[in-house]
Chain A
Amino acid sequence: MNEMTITNAQYTTTDNTTIKCEIGGIRMQVPTDPSNRHYDEIKKQVDAGTLTIADAD
């Protein structure tokens, strides 16, 4: 029950510790912590093939 609309996902830095994205239209920066509910949902959507995380600039 944590459905989220996630778009424009991209790693913030090359160490891949944080992902910048929009969740429900709001700019957020999500740490790659498995206990973080936003990261948990990002991971589910990536695993399902519905979301791709771009490399850091």
Chain B
Amino acid sequence: MSKARQLADNGAGGQNKNLVINGSMAIHQRGGTITLANGAVTYTLDRMCFFKSHAGTNTVEQSTDAPVGFLNSLKVTTTVADASVAAGDRVAMIYRMEGLDAAKLEFGSSSAKTITISFYVKSSITGTHGGAVGNGSDNRAYPFTYTISDANTWERKTITVAGDTTGTWAVTNARSLQVCWGLGVGSTYSGSAGAWEAADRNSASGATTGVLTTANATWFITGIQIEAESFATPFAPKSFAEDLIDCQRYYFKFLEGDDKEIGVGWYFSSSHASFMFRYPTTMRATPTGIDETGTGYYTLFRNGGSDAFNSVTFENGSTEQFSAFNNSEMSGTAGQAGIVRGTNASSKIEFDAEI
């Protein structure tokens, strides 16, 4: 069956049942191959983050290696193995759901709904792999296992979990339900599969740590779906545009590269230029502003000339916009206006409201 036919067939189940944003791994605004930071959360493809704490090195990238019906997957490669997995070592992919989306599952109440998680996975490491469902406070967890039977072969897995009737599950814009896929998790963050417990878990006891301990091991995933059902239904794809705007609630790259417009700028005084950024959608929270800095990375073109500056200072942000200025490298005439651009191949402005 062709990929196009499979994509069409996948739409049969409706588009709103899947609580996962970017489950098809089509959106990768950050771009490139990302090396996971140690002892920290790293966001990679949109909405997909990792926590890594071990002596080895892992990279994450978007891949075109995908099962029939999909164009992309997320690929993890262990570039430097950690041969000895200590109790507290771990590397796991995590999907963090906002409480406003998880609320319909009614976790933490007697009405908690059963969920089914389905995904396509492929790895060079066969055997029993682990993961865990948890809450945003990292004190409720339901470890699970799944089996990869054949190396380097796409397989679809389904995990059904009875909803948690206790614990704290955010129903606001805070971190709520999260699903971890453990790629090598020590005993501290591994628990018995198949039951809820009051603990922070990323995997199930006994699951393989082979992805972490094997140099050049690979693990791919795509087609992630979380639905309020006791069984898995076909993956419900969204359009690229729908997935992109949903992702931009959490992360948005305003510009990257040379000759990219920011917008109108004006001189508040001869040494202070102001401008602003408006986001394409309402963000989850007031985002963190990130500016790549360097000599002449940004320029205000005005009055037949230009005024280059190196960095952007953000102020008075909201979930809709961020004001900005530079008051240390400007030279102009108060009241004049012009256009602000990124003017270096490395110019970059990002907004991050990830959970």
Contact = CB atoms under 8 A, between A and B. Distances in A.
Contact of A36 (B41, B288, B314): B288
A1 B288 contact: no
Contacts of B287: 31, 36
What is the interface of chain B mostly: helix, strand, loop, or mixed?
Answer: loop
Contacts of B291: 27, 29
A35 B285 contact: yes
B41 A35 contact: no
B293 to A, nearest CB: 6
A1 B138 contact: yes
Contact of A3 (B40, B94, B352): B40
Q: How large, as a class, is the contact surface on chain B?
A: 20 to 34
Of B40, B200, B288, most buried by chain A (CB within 10 Å of CB) is: B288
A29 B290 CA distance: 6
A18 B314 contact: yes
A21 to B, nearest CB: 10
B54 to A, nearest CB: 14
A32 to B, nearest CB: 8
A18 B315 contact: yes
A4 B354 CA distance: 14
A1 B75 CA distance: 22
A24 B36 CA distance: 11
A42 to B, nearest CB: 10
Contacts of B336: none
Interface string A1-45: 111110000001101011010001011111101011110000000
A2 B200 CA distance: 13
B40 A17 contact: no
B187 interface: no
User: Looking at A1, A12, A17, which has the most chain B CB atoms within 10 Å of its CB?
Assistant: A1
A54 B49 CA distance: 30
B315 A12 contact: yes
The 8 A-B residue pairs whose C-beta atoms are closest, nearest first, are: A35-B285, A33-B286, A31-B286, A29-B289, A29-B314, A31-B317, A38-B288, A36-B285
Given A12-B313, A18-B289, 9 more contacts: A2-B41, A3-B41, A29-B288, A29-B289, A31-B287, A31-B288, A35-B284, A36-B287, A36-B288
Interface of B: 37, 39-41, 51, 94, 138, 173-174, 200, 284-291, 293, 313-317, 352-355
